Structure 1
Amino acid sequence: MAAIIGSPSRYIQGKSELKNLCSHAANYGKSLFVLTSPSGKKRVEPAISEGQKGTETAVVYEAFNGECCMTEINRVAAACRAANCDVIVGVGGGKIHDTAKAAAYYLGVPVVIVPTIASTDAPCSALSVIYTDEGVFERYLFLPSSPNMVLVDTDVVSRAPARLLISGMGDALATYFEARACQRSNAGNCVGGKQTLAAMSLAKLCYDTLLENGVSAMLAVENKVCTKSVENVIEANTYLSGIGFESGGLAGAHAIHNGLTAVEETHSLYHGEKVAFGTLVQLVLENADTEEIETVIDFCISVGLPVTLAGLGIKEVKEEQIMEVAKLACSPDDTLGNMPFEVTPEDVYAAIMGADALGRYYTEEM
């Protein structure tokens, strides 16, 4: 099997870049179908309209209904076709991005992704995570290519609530450890090949960038300013993690996340918050070095990522509920099979409980 790395054709990141959307997107089409939330439209429409002046680009807005499910993907595709638009632009967070990517795939049109938050690594990937209408993980939709363009306005992203940037750090935190597990097992990545040296290097750079810049970025965003550390973390959350996970591969952390989506108490948590705990569970499964586990726990605590089941909203731990999470995580359709050893639901259950115990120990110690 060949080594393959996937990436967007263009990645653009900078302050006030949103006003350049129409000029950048003109490389792909002249009629933009912008999928965003009603609140997102209020935030981004003035800048997009300013940049639209003097161009021949038309812009049609469509409100996102809240879930990346096949019902919504089909609705968006039909609305884009009815509007005669030739480019889909997903403006917002991860579920909007995944819906835009999937709808563009089924229509056969280019897709541009514009994150307004840095809460996941979805923008750069050739992947959509499909949920049921009720919000339970259903499957991965692997796409033939990454988005045509990803545009990140760091002014917009830095003004979002700090919890969203922190959630993105949780998602990005898993990138290196999952890629490392895939490297050890020689598992395939998410673009149908084996890892490249570049993918593994980007995954490690992602982790190092978080450790070096995470706390200062969190503090800056809490104070509504965009510092160099914020820009570095935005790049880590969006690009380094996006390329790193997709071309490095997924393993335990995201499978644990997917299992947790079946627990109603976790539905108020963001994707990256659950992935952060999943990373700790994966490290327990691997019997990782104590120093490495301590580094991850200390980082999570320092930026406010959950390291316990209680932190995920599970105040009353029920054995049968956690075992159901473990069974779902071990689904043959998920990515725990990429670990470099056999993993059973009983192993995952023990690792979840072990991770929770570690998290409680270090939280109480601090």
Structure 2
Amino acid sequence: MEVVVGPGKYIRRAGILSEVGQHGKQYGTKALLVGGHTALSVAAEKITASLAEQGIEAGTPFWYGGESSWTNIDRLAAEVGQRKPDMLIAVGGGKVMDTVKAAAYRVGLPVIAIPTIAATCAATTSIAIIYDDHGTFTEISRRSKAPELVLVDTTVISKAPVRFLIAGIGDTLAKWFESRATSQKAVPSARVKSAVGLAKVVYELLLESGKEAVAALEQGQITPVLEDVIDAIILLSGSVSGYGGDDCRTAAAHAIYSGLTIFPEIHETYHGEIVAFGILAQLALEGREEQEIRELISYYREVKLPASLPEMGVRPLAAEDWQRLGEVTVTIEDMANMPFAVSPQMVIEAVQKADGLGRAQQ
């Protein structure tokens, strides 16, 4: 057995951006900051100042390119070759994290991950989700590495748009529903049972505290409940993947997310928002009771997650669009993790059922 559980260390507290240099000096004296435009505008100045205090050179921050694509990973690797840093510091959301983790795997450098939003668990996992340069999903890559250090500044996250946290809740809810499905194909080892058990704990925490955490963020307050939800999204969700490995990976919810990315109009909807809808479709695919789906939709309405295609900006689909969605979705690696074979028609029917139930509860 071989698993990569997660990052070497995870620290979450308000104001930790001012301590990046203290933690970074163990990796060397030269860093390359990589991030998105917004994240760098919010955090780069504080990070650079903290690094300078410890004698760590940072230079000009590097924009990651907008997508976690092989094109941008190649660009970053080339930049590393020119600048020759001792460490990479990823600043931003999930696509930044995946770009940096994949480049770091290639060039053999340590990674400090500084997520500026609580929208995915990308900062704490060893895999990278790869898209093409236009935002369409292409693969889950294991040519990636877990960060050595994750620093979560709750002050920064509390100032981010609340929609990111809501998307993070959607993405994290999937851990329970997908691990429940994928673990049916696995040997019920202590590792798998622990991963599924943790996924259920996280799911129950989000049901209990998600609405309150969203309200706290809307009011700009950092509360213990908000901190718990942030940890659930970034750390605990990643730990499910770490402990469960390939036996508790993503399944139909993420496959349906990936399939829906063939429609350009959905690219303005966040990853976790689409995954949340994918959960509803997965439940329909599994033949779960409509009551279970309706109860989850009721929760979505409380935390403002989408539960239908129009809520994600998807235009009315023609017959050929539906067929293409079904055909693409079943080719996604995640779908093979389901405990039964899935056909394109099954996907179409599941998505249509989820969409209908979501529209009915608007």
2:215 is equivalent to residue 216 of structure 1:
no
Residue 65 of structure 1 corresponds to which residue in structure 2?
Answer: 65
Asked if structure 2 preserves the Cα contact closer than 8 Å seen for 1:154 and 1:231, the reply is: yes
Q: Which residue of 1 aligns with 2:40?
A: 41
- Structure with bigger helix share is 2
Contact 1:18 1:47 in 2 (8 A): yes
Q: Distance in 2 between matches of 1:127 and 1:147?
A: 11
Report the counterpart of residue 24 of structure 2 in structure 1.
25
Q: How much has 1:252 moved relative to structure 2? A: 0.6
Pairing 1:231–2:227 present? yes
**AA partner of residue 302 (structure 1):** E
Structure 1 residue 194: deviation in Å? 9.3
Letter of the 1:269 partner, please give it.
T
Deviation at 1:49, TM superposition (A): 3.7
Q: 1:95 to 1:145 in 2, by over 3 A?
A: closer
Question: What is the CA distance between 1:221 and its match in structure 2?
Answer: 1.1
Deviations for 1:182-235, whole angstroms, at most 9, x for unmatched residues? 1112289xxxx9953332222112211111111111111112221112111111
- 8 Å Cα contact 2:24/2:51 also seen in 1: no
Residues of 2 paired with 1:319 and 1:308: CA distance? 18
Q: What is the total number of aligned residue pairs between the two structures?
A: 357
Query: What residue is the counterpart of 1:335 in the other structure?
Result: 334
Instruction: Look up the equivalent residue of 1:293 and give its one-letter code.
Output: I
- SS state of the match for residue 315, structure 1? coil
List gaps (5 residues or longer) in structure 1. none
If the length of structure 2 is used for normalisation, what is the TM-score?
0.93
1:159 aligned residue: 159
Whichever residue aligns with residue 261 of structure 1, its letter is: T
- Map 1:275-294; keep pairs closer than 5 Å: 275-294=275-294
- CA contact under 8 A between 2:73 and 2:99: conserved in structure 1? yes
Equivalents in 2 of 1:66, 1:194: separation in Å? Answer: 39
Question: Which moves more between the two structures, 224-233 or 342-351?
Answer: 224-233
CA shift for structure 1 position 145: 4.1
> Contact 1:187/1:338 (CA < 8 Å) preserved in 2?
no
Secondary structure of the equivalent of 2:307? coil
CA distance in 1: counterparts of 2:54 and 2:142, whole angstroms: 34
Please report the RMSD computed on the Cα atoms of aligned residues, expressed in angstroms: 1.9
Q: What pairs with 1:87-236 in structure 2 (closer than 5 Å)? A: 87-143=87-143, 145-186=145-186, 195-236=191-232
* Cα distance in 1, alignment partners of residues 307 and 46 from structure 2: 39
Question: Which residue of structure 1 aligns with residue 81 of structure 2?
Answer: 81
Answer yes or no: is 1:355 the counterpart of 2:354: yes
Other-structure match for 1:244: 240
What is the CA–CA distance in structure 2 between the aligned matches of 1:198 and 1:146, rounded to whole Å? Answer: 20
- Cα deviation for residue 317 of structure 1 reads 2.8
> CA offset at residue 345 of structure 1?
0.7
The runs of 4+ residues in structure 1 deviating greater than 6 Å are none
- Name the SS for the 1:241 alignment partner: helix
CA displacement 1:22-58 (0-9 Å, x = unmatched): 2112233321111012332221133224433541222
Q: Which TM-score applies when normalising by structure 1? A: 0.92
Residue identity (%)? 36
Offset at residue 300 of structure 1 (A):
1.2
1: CA distance, partners of 2:144 / 2:105: 8
Unaligned runs of 5+ in 2: none
